[in-house]
Amino acid sequence: MQFRQDNIPAGVDWHQAKEYCSWIAEQTSLLFTLPTEAQWEYAARSGGEFIPYGTSTGTLEKGKSIPANEEVRAATQAGDFSNLAPYPVDIYAPNSLGLNQMSDNGYEWVSDWYLHDYYKNSPQKNPRGPIEGKEKVVRGLPHGDGWGGSLTMERYHAPAQITDNDTPITYTFRCVVNAGSI
């Protein structure tokens, strides 16, 4: 596929993301898993700060914190411009926690099930999402959606199993490790 290149986020469904985190946990003997939605937002907000975007500056600046159109074009083998095209993860400086591009380089899977009104009655500290559901929460956006980046508090949802062969490219993930296992 034209969007599969080195240093570009892998497009996967939720089950594949979860399996990878489990595999890396087995390889390292560390407790790797998908982040909860609360962990993801805390990380995107540079440690819980009140910032609008998960970039190094907390702002959207084409060519400084999010890619300009020509940078997106250069990131694909075919030179395409597409809102589906992720770009290299280290193109811009990381946030204060050392994390790159948490605003607009793909929808990122988290471990939580989705329920539209979950936060009306959830615990205020470290909510873990509903016990079950039909869809999983995703955070962030593919490049180009929303004209550049997702607000750190925006949330979306998608089926855990993606069946459209072209859709998974927009779904990425990160694994987190429980600090107590280091």
**pLDDT mean for each 10 residues of the chain (182 residues):** 60 93 96 95 91 86 79 63 64 89 85 93 88 93 61 88 68 86 54
What are 14-21's contacts with CB under 8 Å, separation 24+? Answer: 14/109, 14/136, 14/158, 14/160, 14/161, 14/162, 14/171, 15/160, 15/161, 17/109, 17/171, 17/172, 17/173, 18/109, 18/111, 20/173, 20/175, 21/173, 21/175
CB 3 within 8 A of CB 84: yes
Q: Which pLDDT score, from 0 to 100, does residue 162 have?
A: 77
CB 3 within 8 A of CB 169: yes
Q: Which pLDDT score, from 0 to 100, does residue 1 have?
A: 44
Beta bridge partners of 137: 157
CB 105 within 8 A of CB 140: yes
Q: Which pLDDT score, from 0 to 100, does residue 4 have?
A: 54
Q: Which pLDDT score, from 0 to 100, does residue 171 have?
A: 87
Q: Which pLDDT score, from 0 to 100, does residue 137 have?
A: 96
Place of tokens 């539209």: 116
Structure tokens at 19: 């399996």
